[in-house]
Amino acid sequence: MLTQLSILDQSASVMGSSHAEVIQQAIELAVFAEDLGYHRFWVSEHHSHPSIVGTAPEILMAALSQKTQRIRLGSAGVMLPHYSSLKVAEQFRVLESLAPGRIDLGVGRAPGSDMRTAQLLNPNPQASAYFAQQVQELDMWLRDQTFPPGHPGRGVQAFPLGDTYPELWVLGSSDYGAQLAAHLGLPYVFAHFITDGVGAKEAIELYQQRFQPSDRLKEPQVIVCLWALAAETEEEAFYYFRSRARWKIDRQRGILGSMMPPDQALVGLNQQDLQTFERMCRQGFVGDASTVMNKLDDLANDLGIEEVAIITWAQDFQVRKNSYKVLANQHQTLMA
């Protein structure tokens, strides 16, 4: 049963708003989400991406920590192969000092960018091959553990220390992340929004079957990140969904840019594109709050999970806020 709702905000670029406004809206949305009772508010990392302007989740999280009091804050995620594990551990230990007991560190091995940009971030083309080692080192530094003799990290600490430490999550959209999280006894996040759900059940079952309890986590824990949009009526939801749908159709052609207003989003599409749009409407988590929440609950039951992190793109920020509001209200009604 779906017991927890969370949010993943990607700082998506929209026509009519500056990049600075998009970042400021993420802060406003986090405060709004806390008031609505959402469990977590996560932010993402992308580089040189015309559609997603959030490049530094650790900095945005620091701002969020000063505007919120209860909601968990996290990255979904930090693309670890770009960086030193020690530096990431230090950044998130600082965040833990700013918001004790509220920090999640989701890490992934995907570039979050094109390969040329990835090489500018880290010139080593084989960096992702060390992801598993980096995750283990990161975990050791986050928890102030002693490295084994001979390891270059032995005797090196990630400050500032405290009574709590960030919760480390492994992100993935394939079997690799599921197996790594299971082997290390870490919680796992499946990126449903990347695969449109393909492989979700298999990856989650693999994680649950192979999970090895650790001193951090005794039972498997899974979150699914997915895309959804709700409104007061189905007609409204499908109308506002046009912006996201057009972005996806353009992306399939290799075109990346800001989201269009819904009244312009279907202009210029051919018959095949319009059929694709209709299929997206039928298959996606789009509609009135009751319909969307029922779909989310069905998915949670099918996958054996209790929490989803919702991504909502819309050209109008108020439409996004309203979607999160009506879903939170509907969820609270079902839980009552």
pTM over 0.75: yes
- Mean pLDDT over residues 282-299, rounded? 97
Q: How confident is the model at residue 1 (pLDDT cuts 50, 70, 90)?
A: confident
Region 125-135 average pLDDT: 95
Superfamily of domain 4-230+286-335: Luciferase-like domain (3.20.20.30)
Distance CA 18, CA 195 (A): 29
Residue 43 in contact with residue 71, Cβ under 8 Å?
no
What tokens were used for 16?
Answer: 């009519």
Task: Give tens-digit pLDDT for 218-247.
Answer: 999 999 999 999 999 999 999 999 999 999
Asked if 292 contacts 312 with a C-beta cutoff of 8 angstroms, the reply is: no
Assess whether pLDDT exceeds 90 at residue 330: yes
pLDDT of residue 336: 84
Crossing angle of helices 317-335 and 19-36, in 10° steps, is 20
- Share the mean pLDDT of the chain: 97
Bridge partners of 172, per DSSP, are 190
Report CA dihedral (300, 304, 310, 311) to the nearest 10 degrees: -110
Per residue in 65-105, pLDDT (tens digit) is 999 999 999 999 999 999 999 999 999 999 999 999 999 99
